[in-house]
Amino acid sequence: MLKLSKEAIQMLEQVIYLPMVLQILQRDYQAFEQGTFKLKQPYLKLVEQTIQYVQKELANTKRYLRKNQLQVLRGERDDLFSEYIFMHQRVQDSRRYSNIRLRNHVEELLSYYLAKAQEISQCEQ
Q: How far apart are alpha carbons 98 and 40 in whole angstroms?
A: 35
- pTM, two decimal places: 0.90
Domain positions in the chain: 6-124
pLDDT > 70? residue 52: yes
Between helix 41-67 and helix 99-124 the angle, nearest 10°, is 110
| The predicted structure's pLDDT at residue 30 | 95
Mean pLDDT of the chain: 93
Confidence of residue 125 (pLDDT cuts 50, 70, 90): low
| The predicted structure's pLDDT at residue 3 | 83
Please write the tens of the pLDDT for every residue from 9-48.
999 999 999 999 999 999 999 999 998 888 999 899 999 9
| The predicted structure's pLDDT at residue 103 | 97
- Please say whether the beta carbons of 30 and 47 come within 8 A: no
Between helix 41-67 and helix 6-34 the angle, nearest 10°, is 150
Please write the tens of the pLDDT for every residue from 57-116.
999 999 999 999 999 999 999 999 999 999 998 889 999 999 999 999 999 999 999 999
